[in-house]
C-alpha cells in the first residue's frame, strides 16, 4: 500500500511504504535520490555507490528513483549512569548463575576426571619404564658369559 504525501514546506513528493511485517515496525519513507543526496550533503554518485554495496536501498517506481529514508550515521548511543558495584558482589551473582545452570559442577567433574586420567597415565608410564629396565638387566645378565 503506497500513499503519496506532500509536505506543505517541501515541494518534493515523499512516498510512504506501510510494512506488514514485525521487522519493519515504522513506515519507511521513500525520498527522491537527488533530495536524499542534498540532505545528506553527498553526491548522487556516492548515493548510487552506497546503494550498490547495500548500505542504502534504492527503489524505482513510476519512472523515478527513490531511496529508503535511513540515516547514514547511526543515532548516538545514550549511556546510563549506574552506581559502582563491588567486584565481590559481581562474583557472587556470576557464581550463583553458574551454579544454577550447572557450569561449575560440570567443570569440576571434568577437571577431576582429567587429573585422574593424567595421574594414572603417569604411574603406568613409570611402571613400564621400570619393567623395561628390569627386563633389560635380566636379559644382559643371562646373555653375558660367566667366563
| 135 DSSP β-pair partners | none
Residue 135 phi/psi, 5-degree rounding, is -65, -35
* Dihedral in degrees, nearest 10, Cα atoms 60, 64, 68, 71: 140
Question: pLDDT for 91-137, tens place per residue?
Answer: 666 666 666 656 555 555 667 788 889 999 999 999 999 999 999 99
Question: pLDDT for 2-30, tens place per residue?
Answer: 444 444 444 455 555 554 444 545 556 88
> The whole model's pTM is what?
0.36
Residue 8 phi/psi, 5-degree rounding, is -65, -35
Q: Choose the weakest-confidence range: 49-63, 75-89, 111-125.
A: 75-89
Mean pLDDT calculated for residue range 45-57 = 89
Q: What are the start-end ranges of the H helices in 58-102?
A: 87-101
Spatial separation of the C-alpha atoms in residues 81 and 93, rounded to whole Å: 20
- pLDDT at position 9 is 46
Amino acid at each position: 500500500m503506497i500513499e503519496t504525501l506532500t509536505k506543505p514546506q517541501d515541494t518534493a513528493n515523499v512516498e510512504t511504504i506501510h510494512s506488514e511485517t514485525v521487522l519493519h515496525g515504522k513506515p519507511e519513507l521513500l525520498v527522491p535520490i537527488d533530495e536524499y543526496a542534498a540532505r545528506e550533503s553527498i553526491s548522487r554518485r556516492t548515493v548510487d555507490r552506497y546503494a550498490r554495496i547495500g548500505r542504502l536501498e534504492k527503489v524505482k517506481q513510476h519512472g523515478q528513483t527513490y531511496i529508503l529514508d535511513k540515516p547514514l550515521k547511526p543515532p548516538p548511543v545514550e549511556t546510563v549512569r549506574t552506581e559502582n558495584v563491588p567486584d565481590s558482589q559481581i562474583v557472587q551473582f556470576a557464581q550463583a548463575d553458574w551454579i544454577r545452570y550447572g557450569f561449575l559442577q560440570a567443570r569440576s567433574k571434568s577437571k577431576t576426571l582429567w587429573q585422574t586420567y593424567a595421574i594414572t597415565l603417569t604411574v603406568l608410564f613409570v611402571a613400564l619404564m621400570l619393567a623395561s629396565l628390569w627386563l633389560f638387566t635380566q636379559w644382559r645378565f643371562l646373555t653375558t658369559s660367566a667366563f
